[in-house]
Amino acid sequence: MSKEITSREEDYAQWYNDLVIKGGLAENAAVRGCMVIKPYGFGLWENMRDQLDRMFKETGHVNAYFPLFIPKSFLSKEAAHVEGFAKECAVVTHYRLKNDPNGKGVVVDPEAKLEEELIIRPTSETIIWNTYKDWIQSYRDLPLLINQWANVVRWEMRTRLFLRTAEFLWQEGHTAHATRDEAIEEARKMLDVYADFVENFMALPVIKGVKTPSERFAGAEDTYCIEALMQDGKALQAGTSHFLGQNFAKAFDVKFLTRENKQEFVWATSWGVSTRLVGALVMAHSDDQGLILPPKIAPLQVVIVPIFKGDEQRGFIENAVLPIIKGLKELGITVKFDDSDNARPGWKFAEYEMKGVPVRIAIGQRDIENNVVEVARRDTKEKISVSMNGLPYYIKTLLDEIQQHMYNKALAYRDAHITSVDTWADFEEVLDNKGGFISAHWDGSAETEEAIKEKTKATIRCIPLQSIEEKGVCILTGKPSSQRVLFARAY
């Protein structure tokens, strides 16, 4: 084995950290709470980003770029927003350094103090709605469908690579609409786009729902979300889409002239997913040998490892492999031929398993004489001898199969971990021993929600969009309830 990974059984958190570090995805930076996204991890993010970007454009959105800095006073303009966001922020107070009079490096120049402090954006509603004020005059300017890819900063005290870092990369959509219904439709549509992406590209099933008032985005009237389940039975919020009502339009005085010649406030949405999705991907699919990446977004889909002794065999194998590489590339498959001689095949096998490359092809001189190669799937670890005739098509089909199999496996796990309970005793029992989502009745009050959270650390992940009305009584208080909600401990 090339590198040791802590097993999930032994220490799930350490297993996750080992995968991220040893799989070459990211590492902690010299700056507290920040990470360096390494080339392999960034390649993965690029594939995710590019696919999402295509989906945003297909649904009529365009990209733009707004400033990194937000004047401090902007944060205070929307009352709920400042409560939720203004606290743990990076604050720029000065704009110049000078040579240390004592001769040791540089110091902040006290003369260069900003009149108003600038906040590094934790999210951009305020600066964007301040801008939209000038862009929107009439119903003809609506809808405004804009997305931004950007870095944001939230000064988290306890950070974990990808899952929670002070600086992270994300996209934030900010749209403006003439009517309430149209804005709600947009927020729901983007939730569907996220669900489509996470399920069909990340091979990770999600539950669509709406947050309770306590879990809403600061400044939203409704927060829609997709929730996924990790292998340790904890939930992870994979994306959110907010219906913001007219809150930001009122805070920044953004009105438009209707067709009926009246001045009205604009309706808004915002929606975002971040590099956190990379963490979800790692935790949902991987095993104790390393990462398992879905073919549709894997930076490298196929690796070919030659088994050779000496240069003559190497040359012989290379000749046989070149047409296979060509064939794979023609089918749009990314492939690497690793004929480096500084590591044995066994070491390479372990290394590419660690990195989660979906398909490995091993090929030696005798294989070529028999017109076969050995194909190994990363997800099931099955190995099979496959004819070299039509190999690229075989691989293409196999990649689709792996993608589907990964989804099915995650779905089966997820579905086996949604438990309906009707008593408090069962609730605690399932939470502590089985984990996963618990579907239970709740009386609808924030106090009960908070009490359950304090007792168990479980939160209401969402009120599922597809839930059915069902009369029952709250598991904690016994008060009446009209539908079940999903509880879980969560990342």
Instruction: Give the DSSP letter of residue 164.
Output: B
94 binds a second copy (CB under 8 A): yes
140 binds a second copy (CB under 8 A): yes
Q: Of 137, 151, 397, 420, which one interacts with a second copy (CB under 8 A)? A: 151
Number of residues that bind a second copy (CB under 8 A): 64
Going by their DSSP bridges, the two strands 359-364 and 302-307 should be labelled as parallel
Shortest Å distance, C-beta 115 to a second copy: 9
Instruction: Count the Cβ atoms, other than its own, within 10 Å of residue 88.
Output: 12
Only one of the segments 71-79, 177-185, 411-419, 420-428 lies at the binding site for a second copy (rule: CB under 8 A); that segment is 71-79
65 binds a second copy (CB under 8 A): yes
- By beta-carbon proximity to a second copy, the closer residue of 167 and 449 is 167
Name the 3-class secondary structure at 49: helix
Q: Of 31, 384, 446, 451, which one interacts with a second copy (CB under 8 A)? A: 31
Shortest Å distance, C-beta 108 to a second copy: 5
Going by their DSSP bridges, the two strands 372-377 and 335-337 should be labelled as unpaired
Q: Which two tokens stand for residue 471?
A: 């009369």
55 binds a second copy (CB under 8 A): no
Shortest Å distance, C-beta 188 to a second copy: 23
| Dihedral Cα 386, 388, 392, 398, nearest 10 deg | 0
Q: At what angle do helices 39-58 and 180-200 cross, to 10 degrees?
A: 140
How many Cα atoms within 13 Å fall on the side-chain side of residue 180?
Answer: 6
CA pair distance 209, 250, nearest whole angstrom: 27
CA pair distance 45, 276, nearest whole angstrom: 10
Shortest Å distance, C-beta 80 to a second copy: 14
The letter for the amino acid at 72 is K
Query: Burial code of 39-66, b = ≥16 C-beta within 10 A, e = fewer?
Result: ebbbbbbebbbebbeebbeeeebeeeeb
64 binds a second copy (CB under 8 A): yes
CA pair distance 295, 397, nearest whole angstrom: 11
Q: Which two tokens stand for residue 177?
A: 């609409």
Only one of the segments 30-38, 281-289, 326-334, 370-378 lies at the binding site for a second copy (rule: CB under 8 A); that segment is 30-38
Q: Of 91, 412, 446, 465, which one interacts with a second copy (CB under 8 A)? A: 91
- By beta-carbon proximity to a second copy, the closer residue of 73 and 137 is 73
Residue 478, burial from CB neighbour count under 10 angstroms (0-12, 13-18, 19+): exposed
Shortest Å distance, C-beta 169 to a second copy: 7
236 binds a second copy (CB under 8 A): no
97 binds a second copy (CB under 8 A): yes
- By beta-carbon proximity to a second copy, the closer residue of 38 and 164 is 38
Q: Of 13, 54, 60, 96, which one interacts with a second copy (CB under 8 A)? A: 96
Q: Of 127, 249, 273, 283, which one interacts with a second copy (CB under 8 A)? A: 127
25 binds a second copy (CB under 8 A): no
Shortest Å distance, C-beta 203 to a second copy: 24
Measured CA to CA in angstroms, residue 46 lies from 23, 150, 239, 294, 362 at distances of 17, 13, 17, 14, 28
Only one of the segments 101-109, 182-190, 324-332, 419-427 lies at the binding site for a second copy (rule: CB under 8 A); that segment is 101-109
- By beta-carbon proximity to a second copy, the closer residue of 37 and 368 is 37
What are the DSSP calls for 332-382, one per residue? T--EEE---SSS-HHHHHHHHHHTT-SEEEEEEHHHHHTTEEEEEETTT--
422 binds a second copy (CB under 8 A): no
Shortest Å distance, C-beta 147 to a second copy: 9
Q: Which two tokens stand for residue 133?
A: 């004020």
What are the DSSP calls for 383-428, one per residue? EEEEESTTHHHHHHHHHHHHHHHHHHHHHHHHHHTEEE--SHHHHH
Q: Of 5, 44, 146, 421, which one interacts with a second copy (CB under 8 A)? A: 146
486 binds a second copy (CB under 8 A): no
Q: Of 7, 17, 51, 72, which one interacts with a second copy (CB under 8 A)? A: 72
- By beta-carbon proximity to a second copy, the closer residue of 117 and 264 is 117
Shortest Å distance, C-beta 339 to a second copy: 15
Nearest to 475 by CA among 463, 486, 489: 486
Q: Of 14, 76, 423, 482, which one interacts with a second copy (CB under 8 A)? A: 76
- By beta-carbon proximity to a second copy, the closer residue of 16 and 162 is 162
42 binds a second copy (CB under 8 A): yes
124 binds a second copy (CB under 8 A): no
The site for a second copy (CB under 8 A) is made up of: 27, 29-31, 34-39, 42-43, 45-46, 62-76, 82, 86-98, 104-106, 108, 117-120, 127, 130-131, 134, 140, 146, 150-151, 153, 155, 167, 169, 342
